[in-house]
Chains A and B, each alone.
Chain A
Amino acid sequence: MKIKEKLSSLWRKLTWTWSPQSNREASESVVRNFWLHWFPSRISLRSLSWGYSLWLGTVAASLFAILTITGVLLLFFYIPSIQNAYWSIKDLDNVVVFGWLLRGQHRWAAHLMVAIVFFHLMRVFFTAAYRDQRVWNWYIGIALLIVTLFLSFSGYILPWDQLAYWALTIGMGIARAIPFLGKSINFIFVGGNVLGQNSLLRFFVLHNFFLPAMMLFLFALHMWRIRKDGGLACMDRLIHETGLKEVPASPTKTYSLLGVTEGTTIQASTTEVLDESNSVRSSPHLVRRIALVFLVTTVITLILAMISPAPLEEFANPSVTPIPAKAPWYFLWLQELIAVTTIKIGKITISGALIGGILVPGFLLLLAIVWPFLDRSPKEAIGIWFHKKRRIQNAVFIFICIVITVLIVIGLYLRGPYWIFFWPWQPWPEIPTIF
């Protein structure tokens, strides 16, 4: 009996630095624990539900965690040199213990992350969660999407196989089309005028230091702003429905973070709304659910990695163009746009790189930035999926998403050798080999 008690007290010491004596103290535990302090002490059932947020942000963060863990392990084996990079990947695939699994999981998590981050953006748009005080988080989110895209693209370059080399060639071709700055941007990223060792090293440093650091910084900011903006947008609905007036925050309770933003705390007013009927304690309910999402994400990436390991094409060869040379799927819609807008009149070719590579994505980015200010839908629409009064803008947004998806599908499945269009039932011509 005594041993059992001792063991249980030891267990408590290991798992709890302090154990709560009341509900109030349990709520305070969130503030006391470093790992939990960024959660609210209570979480509304709406925010916790599967259906409202689809937990896409948590999935994206989980994927980033998986990418960081597998990525650090891969760093022990990867050699950032154009002579050896390819062979170090071959070794990972063939002889390194679990190398194939690490690489497979890293690759799948990276592809999924691009998709999930975009789905997250779609969710935020459809629930009008980008308005008023949430504009800044909408911008941080867009920045996170861009960082995700560049992280994925820079990782694409590292194996230095044909896929990498030609994706970089296409990518830099687009960069060169940027008016005025194109040549300098190309020079900086390529590390000269010709793709080679410098380019690989630059993308290696971007992929392993600058972009992840930016991601972590923006992620922290993103999380912090969620709290300061009053939680998920569905919280606004709750306030609206319960008819509670916002309690003016205490003028003495102010915050500031490195001068980035400051004000009186908004959270003070929302906590008034949460009670036993519509919320639960974050610890353990929110923590458990986040653990569940992370676990499911891990399992899915593992299954995908085991079913379909990461491919590796031929060693990068500047004199052999793969037929066809395709950008990674998330940039394929741009490549397709470039191909469509490249016009040949007689002997003169007008490159579509400016339209497809710069103007269209630039316009979409600009639209995303100004949209919160152009949106005239009522406040009641915030925090509700497909609100009636947002029908037109939702339709336009869906239309843009469909166009992008269709262009990606065309580029991925219907473009054969020399970027010629083939229907799925038309066989591609056989490509000659050496032997």
Chain B
Amino acid sequence: MSKKGSFNPLKDFYWLSFFSLLLFFLVITAFYKEANPEWKQYQQEFKKYLEENISQESASALELSVKQIWLPELNKVDRCISCHLGYDQPDLVRAPEPFAAHPDIKPHSMMKMGCTICHGGQGFALKKKDAHGEIEHWEEPLLGRKLAKEYGFGNENALIQISCNICHRRDENTPGLEMINLAKKLLTQKKKCRTCHIIDGKGGKLGADLTFIGDKSAERFDFSQIKDNLIQGGKPLSVLSWHFEHFMNPEAVVPGSKMPFVEYSDEEAWGLAMLMMSWRDVNLPIMLIPKEKREEAPSPEETVKTVKLSPVEWGKELFENKNCSECHTIGGGVEIGPDLKGITEIRDIKWLRRMILDPEGMEQTDPLAKKLYQEYEEVGMPTEELTQEELEAIIKYIESFNKK
């Protein structure tokens, strides 16, 4: 009977009651948590703000609920407006954050584009930290004040230019994108990038293809040379920083790099770095592509067909469009490649044709081409696809300088 005494059914009953009570309180807590999300507090505050500063009607018209812009084409849901409540009310321009109206950005439509496509952040989220992307496992932080400060930009919206340029990539000059515009200007003025880099399918093969460089993941960049400096300097260890440092001094970031050193100002280098970040392969719905850029520019061949050019004029066009002018001048002195003035007289014409059509093959087999390759710092000439007519036109164009 002593064993029987060790089992007390009442004890089980007490524990059962205790844990039932605990479960009850847990359920209450869960309901409380569910009923009081962060966004609701913002909406209550906003309601109060409307009552005090705008009108009673507008306050009572506000329904407390999750608000979102749903963009099926972009596979995005932006719930930012659950807290940024005055975004579409122009009379709230002077309201405090997060209730202030969004500045006028016509012709862009917030209802068609949402928020995160420009500002970054996590549109799905409803808590401030999650939504602003200040958490682990979200790679697109808010391109706002906090991040701009980390990079030392005076303009808190500076980084949004990167998002703008994803759509406006083909614009020469986009109003409001000072740094990107500056970078684009550098690109068209000096445009030596294509000597070594392919951009949009054109260019040399010595460097990386830059067409969609903005999609390259952080782990594929070599930070070994700049890591310590960045951490000590309190700068973000990021791809954007990498691009900046690399434009400022390519060899310091990638030892043995053949990329020429150009003295850029800080602003220019940041602009170029931002331009790189913006070159991304994003499937844009047709409605978001800037109108004037929906048509492709005519190719040189099409130009020839429509505007009858003389062989020399066509050759000039080709010399520039097929990237010859990136490295060669005709009578302008040696640049990356030799000056081509008088080349048709000193070289055998057959050798010249082969050299233009298949430079990469020639540099491996032909002794003269090999010698030139060594002489010009081993920067190889990229192969461009040319038709027989195009080849002759280029040669005619180079020849036209002989008499001058």
Contact yes or no, A320 B219, CB < 8 A? yes
A314→B12 contact, CB < 8 A: no
Tell me if B29 and A306 are in contact (CB < 8 A): yes
Tell which of A91, A101, A303, A314 touches B139, judged by Cβ atoms closer than 8 Å.
A314
**B208 beta carbon closer than 8 Å to chain A:** no
Bin chain B's interface residue count.
35 or more
A373 at the binding interface (Cβ < 8 Å): no
- Once the chains bind, are A277 and B75 in contact (CB under 8 Å)? no
Interface residues of B in 137-185 (CB under 8 A from A): 137-141, 143, 147, 159
| Docked pose: A405 CA to B26 CA in angstroms | 32
B346 interface hit (Cβ, 8 Å): no
The proximity string for A residues 96-119 relative to B, scoring 1 for CB distances below 8 Å and 0 otherwise, is: 011001000000000000000000
Contact of B218 among A95, A298, A302, A433 (CB under 8 A): A433
Instruction: Give A415 to B223 CA distance when docked, in angstroms.
Output: 21
CB of A434 within 8 A of CB of B22, answer no
Q: Which residues of B (1-34) have their CB < 8 Å from a CB of A?
A: 1, 3-4, 6-7, 9, 12-13, 15-16, 19-20, 22-23, 26, 29-30, 33-34
Contact A433 B16 (CB under 8 A): no
Contacting residues, chain A, for B147 (C-beta < 8 A): 435
B237 close to A430 (CB less than 8 A): yes
Interface presence of B101 (CB below 8 A): no
- A240–chain B nearest beta-carbon distance, Å: 16
Interface residues of A in 250-285 (CB under 8 A from B): 276-278, 280, 284-285
Chain B interface mostly: helix
Measured in the bound complex, the distance between the Cα atoms of B2 and A276 in whole Å is 11
User: Shortest CB–CB separation between residue A285 and chain B, in angstroms?
Assistant: 6
Question: Is residue B221 contacting chain A, with contact meaning CB distance below 8 A?
Answer: yes
Looking at the assembled complex, report how far the CB atom of A219 sits from the nearest CB atom of chain B, in whole angstroms.
24
Chain B contacts of A101 at CB under 8 A? Answer: 30, 34
1/0 contact trace for A286-327 toward B, CB 8 Å? 001101100110110011001000011110010111010000
Residue B217 interfacial (CB < 8 Å): yes
Q: Does A3 contact B (CB under 8 A)?
A: no
A355, B124: Cα distance in complex, Å: 44
Which residue, of A291, A313, A434, has the highest number of chain B Cβ atoms within 10 A? A434
Contact A432 B218 (CB under 8 A): yes
Is A82's CB within 8 Å of the partner chain B? no
Q: How far is the CA of A373 from the CA of B377 in the complex (A)?
A: 76
A312 and B23 form a contact (CB under 8 A): no
Contact yes or no, B30 A98, CB < 8 A: yes
Query: CA of A291 to CA of B9 in the docked complex: distance in angstroms?
Result: 13
Contact (Cβ within 8 A) A45 B7: yes
Contact B19 A296 (CB under 8 A): yes
Taking the nearest CB of chain A, how far is it from the CB of B159, in angstroms?
Answer: 8
Q: Which residue of B lies closest to A86 (CB)?
A: B124
| A-B pairs, 5 with minimum CB distance | A432-B218, A90-B124, A313-B137, A320-B217, A295-B19
